[in-house]
Amino acid sequence: MKRFSAKTVIVTGGASGIGAATVRRLYEEGANVVIADLQEDAASALAQDIGDPQRLLVHALDVSDAEAVDALMEACVERFGVPDGLANCAGVRGVGSILETDLDLFRRNVAINLEGGFNTCKAFAQRLVDAGKGGAIVNVSSAAGIQGVPNRLAYVASKHGVIGLTRGAALDLGKYGIRVNVVTPGMIHTPMTAPMFEDPENVDRIRAAHPIGREGMPEEIAAAIAFALADEVAFMTGAVIPVDGGSSVGQPSH
């Protein structure tokens, strides 16, 4: 028996990077998976590559659009029934200091990273509460959600918000048997961060900032997301789970 047999999990941002690795991991562990992403073609290509179309549903989604999120839940219920899990991997990374960040960039980061999480957590939780069913949510914040990072103002602010969203929702939803946890990845090699790995000096800096001596891989975050979604950690909610090579603990001596 696999950990997610007969379970359904929605993965936002599921077409790329951490989300795509999460889709693969949950599928391998037996889940029906809804791949929800702005990038519908990439999501379809991933589904084709994985295999059994019976256990995969591709759904075009903008998480910042609350009506679209409701339609996603509807499509999931129609295909697989009320879902068991939600992994919120959709996100964008705004670059710039507070002086360089205009209101549009700030709002875009908040709309996708924070309001998107609110929309999906709320719609998912409402479905489960209406059905009298428990479940689990894992949000993806960042190491930049627990400490400041220079020149990433909009991203840092929105990712701190994701931790607040997680803690508040965990308190509100515990009585319904719905757990809400958040992972905070360090630097992970994905399409989002690929440009940062083009300059060898930058790569050295990234590796030096992580006590474990390297960047992370999307599969390592997917493993933590699957862990936090699984029934075996049914007593864990409101937890902030760093998967960051130790970067949040302090600077290594090497």
Q: In terms of Cα–Cα distance, which of 50, 131, 41 is closest to 83?
A: 131
Among 8, 22, 32, 64, binds ligand NAP (CB under 6 A): 64
Asked if 38 interacts with ligand NAP (CB under 6 A), we say: yes
Compute the distance between CA of residue 242 and CA of residue 221 in angstroms, rounded to an integer: 10
| One-letter amino acid for residue 67 of the chain | E
Nearer to ligand NAP, 217 or 233 (CB): 217
Residue 108 or 133 with smaller CB distance to ligand NAP: 108
Contact residue for ligand NAP among 23, 37, 119, 170 (CB under 6 A): 37
Binding status of residue 153 toward ligand NAP by CB under 6 A = no
Stretch that binds ligand NAP, among 35-43, 69-77, 78-86, 122-130 (CB under 6 A): 35-43
* Residue whose CB is less far from ligand NAP, 62 or 84: 62
DSSP assignment of 217-231 equals: -HHHHHHHHHHHHSG
Q: How far is CA 140 from CA 55, 75, 99, 113, 175, in A?
A: 24, 23, 26, 9, 23
Q: Is 22 in the site for ligand NAP (CB under 6 A)?
A: no
Cβ proximity to ligand NAP: between 39 and 166 the closer is 39
The phi and psi torsions of 152 (rounded to 5 degrees) equal -140, 40
CA distances from 152 to 7, 98, 145, 202, 233 (A): 37, 8, 11, 16, 33
Q: Say which amino acid occupies 167.
A: R
Of 208 and 234, which has the nearer Cβ to ligand NAP? 208
CB atoms within 10 A of CB 95: 12
Binding mask 202-241 for ligand NAP (x = CB under 6 A): ----------------------------------------
Q: Binding string, 97-116, against ligand NAP, x = CB under 6 A?
A: ---------------x---x
The one-character DSSP state at 174 is: G
In the complex, the residues that contact ligand NAP under the rule CB under 6 A are 12-13, 15-19, 37-39, 61-64, 89-93, 112, 116, 140, 142, 185, 187-188, 190-193
